[in-house]
Amino acid sequence: MIKNTILVALATLTMSGCAHKMASTPATMSYDGSNIDYSKINEMKVSKVCHNLTEPDADTTIVTAAKRASISKIKHVDTSFEYSTFLFWTISPKSCVTVYGQ
C-alpha cells in the first residue's frame, strides 16, 4: 500500500513539469574569445533578459537582449540560471541571457 502511494506520488511529480520553449539558431555559431579585452568589459553596453521557467513564451534570445540596449556588435554572451530559495524550495527559477557589446 505504501509502495503504491509512493509510486503514484513520484509519477505525479514527474508528469507535472512546466512547458519550456527553446529557441534555436538556424546555423552553428562559434566563438573565439581570445581577441576580446575583458579588462574593458565594464565599458561595454550590457543587456540582460530573463524569464521565469513557468512562462514558456518569453523571449530571451541574444537578439532580443542586443536590441534592448542598441548593441550592434556583440562581444560576449553569458547565460545563467537564477533562483531564490525558501527553506528547501526553489522559488521563481529564471533562465537569463546577458549580452555585452558596442
Model pLDDT, residue 4: 57
Model pLDDT, residue 48: 92
In a domain, 55, yes or no: yes
Residue 74 lies in domain: 41-102
88 secondary structure, DSSP code: T
In a domain, 20, yes or no: no
Model pLDDT, residue 7: 53
Model pLDDT, residue 20: 41
In a domain, 28, yes or no: no
Model pLDDT, residue 71: 94
Q: Per the structure, how many domains does the chain have? A: 1
In a domain, 23, yes or no: no
- Residue 21: pLDDT band (50, 70, 90) is very low
Q: What b/e sequence results for 2-17 when a residue is b if at least 16 CB atoms lie within 10 Å of its CB, and e otherwise? A: eeeeeeeeeeeeeeee
DSSP letters, 30-72, are: ---GGG--GGGGGGSEEEEEEEETT-TT----HHHHHHHTT-S
pTM: 0.62
More confident residue, 101 or 1: 101
For the segment 60-67, the average pLDDT, to the nearest whole number, is 89
